[in-house]
Amino acid sequence: MNILVIGRGGREHSIVMKLAESERISTIYAAPGNAGMQQAECVGIDEMDIEALVAFAKEEQIDLTIVGPENPLNEEIANRFIEAGLQVFAPQKAAALLEGSKSFAKEFMNKYAVPTAAYATFTSADKAKEYIEKQGAPIVVKADGLAAGKGVIVAETKEQALAAVDEILVEKAFSDAGAKIVVEEFLSGKEFSLMAFVHEHNVYPMVPARDHKRAFDNDEGPNTGGMGAFSPVPDVTEDHLDFAMKEILQKTADGMMEEDRPFTGILYAGLMMTEDGPKVIEFNTRFGDPETQVVLPLLKNDLDQVILDVMDGKDPELEWDDSACVGVVLASQGYPGSYAKGVETPELNEADTYIVHAGTKLVDGNLVSDGGRVLLVGAKENSFELAREKVYEALNQVENGKEYFYRTDIGK
């Protein structure tokens, strides 16, 4: 069996690592992949070059394609693969809109009574500001479209919220992604993520994870794509998970069928544990990053078999390791703002840990940085304490805050 993984980040490296455990797979291709994907054959095709990817999949007789990042999903990559008679595990554009447009997602949740924060949508900065003046702070301002995980501003004061409106709608900080904004009620509580394998009405949830979005310790600093994660989440009970499954994931899958937007792929619910139970902060329509890097190591089944079963309408009978998994991101100094690329990556002792490459490339035989988030160091152990200890033992070899930085409180 030949499999193609589309993407270049840590999520895709984690998918490749998991697929490599299966004896049914003869070749794993990654397009474009990254320098860490030793178990895959990297192909120099950009993830947005959809026609070239379709042609490659046909030529190499790819049996299954898994799409990692969100941007190609909203450019109809799944549609094109299906039209070409190729098997792809990813939502078509009509279903990927759950992530591609926050206003669509909010209207959908409203219609199908999926629990989420109160909201309003605006294209006018003046009207958005009037609404914020009435609502007060804290409040959340979001760019409607895809903004690489950075288009969300949690404003603690009215002034911050008004500035966020200007930044997104007037200054176009997120280009076309910010042509419309969603202004949301601030939900307080602890966040967690719940991903599921979905095909039409069938939903198979994974173990929950919690990621840390803020750049610095104690959840301070700007929002990032994620500075680390852990799984499972001890404060999320079976009752919480049952509620999230029935009232959020299942309702969403059923609602998408009702809307004639059948969903196939990974449905990711970013949830807030409120006093009234879990509520949706956002949907993603693909594996989360960095949550994937701590969830897939806990999956006992072969990933390829799970996906094929789900697409065939069979229960994949998911089995999970009862270990604790912790992953910490090593980021380029300056991220999520401007940062240098081409910086040599530190040599880390991999004993008792695993390393996932997110933004690396080979230059003259040397491994160098090629992104804001460069590596994730993870460990799977009997306890969170032991897993954290192993991860930080490896990261302590890096001078924190010089060329690279990392949070020291992931999984606490």
Over residues 221-259, the pLDDT tens digits come to 988 889 999 999 999 999 999 999 999 999 999 999 999
Confidence of residue 279 (pLDDT cuts 50, 70, 90): very high
Confidence of residue 350 (pLDDT cuts 50, 70, 90): confident
Residue 148 scores a pLDDT above 80: no
Query: Per mean pLDDT, which range of 106-110, 167-171, 287-291 is the poorest?
Result: 167-171
Give the per-residue pLDDT at 74.
94
Q: How many CA atoms lie within 13 A of 36 on its CB side?
A: 27
Confidence of residue 152 (pLDDT cuts 50, 70, 90): confident
Confidence of residue 9 (pLDDT cuts 50, 70, 90): very high
Do residues 285 and 96 lie in contact, with contact meaning Cβ atoms separated by under 8 Å? yes
Residues 2-16 as b/e (b if ≥16 CB within 10 A, e otherwise) read bbbbbbbbbbbbbbb
| Coil vs helix vs strand at 2 | strand
CATH number of 190-311: 3.30.470.20
Give the per-residue pLDDT at 165.
94
Which residues, including other chains, have CB under 8 Å from residue 175's CB and lie 6 or more apart? none
Superfamily of domain 324-405: Phosphoribosylglycinamide synthetase, C-terminal domain (3.90.600.10)
Q: Which alpha helices (DSSP H) does 23-171 contain, by range?
A: 50-59, 70-73, 77-83, 93-100, 102-111, 125-135, 158-165
Dist CA 139 CA 395 (whole Å): 36
* CA-based torsion, 211, 216, 220, 226: positive or negative: negative
Round the average pLDDT of the chain to a whole number and report it: 95
Q: Cα-flanking dihedrals φ and ψ of residue 313, to 5°?
A: 80, 15
pLDDT cut 70: percent of the chain above it: 100
Give the residue range(s) of CATH 3.30.1490.20 domains in the chain.
118-185
pLDDT cut 90: percent of the chain above it: 91
Give the per-residue pLDDT at 351.
82
Element (H or E) spanning 267, and its range?
strand 264-274
Specify the CATH architecture of the domain 118-185: 2-Layer Sandwich (3.30)
Confidence of residue 349 (pLDDT cuts 50, 70, 90): confident
265: nearest Cα among 330, 352, 199, 221: 199
Please calculate the CA angle 219-225-227 and round it to the nearest 5 degrees: 50
Q: Work out the average pLDDT over 354-381.
A: 95
Q: Work out the average pLDDT over 116-130.
A: 95
Give the per-residue pLDDT at 50.
98
Give the per-residue pLDDT at 278.
96
**297: which 2 tokens?**
């190591």
DSSP state of 170: I
Q: Work out the average pLDDT over 179-184.
A: 94
DSSP state of 169: I
Dist CA 332 CA 115 (whole Å): 37
36: nearest Cα among 66, 8, 56: 8
Give the per-residue pLDDT at 239.
95
**252: which 2 tokens?**
């969403």
Q: Work out the average pLDDT over 23-35.
A: 97
Confidence of residue 176 (pLDDT cuts 50, 70, 90): confident
Give the per-residue pLDDT at 222.
86
Residue 316 scores a pLDDT above 90: yes
Query: Per mean pLDDT, which range of 43-52, 231-240, 246-255, 342-351 is the poorest?
Result: 342-351
Please calculate the CA angle 285-287-288 and round it to the nearest 5 degrees: 100
Confidence of residue 326 (pLDDT cuts 50, 70, 90): very high
Residue 153 scores a pLDDT above 90: no
Give the residue range(s) of CATH 3.30.470.20 domains in the chain.
190-311
In CATH, what class is 2-92?
A: alpha beta
Tell me the pLDDT tens digit for each residue of 66-91: 999 999 999 999 999 999 999 999 99
Element (H or E) spanning 254, and its range?
helix 251-258
Residue 150 scores a pLDDT above 90: no
pTM above 0.75, yes or no: yes
Q: Work out the average pLDDT over 343-371.
A: 92
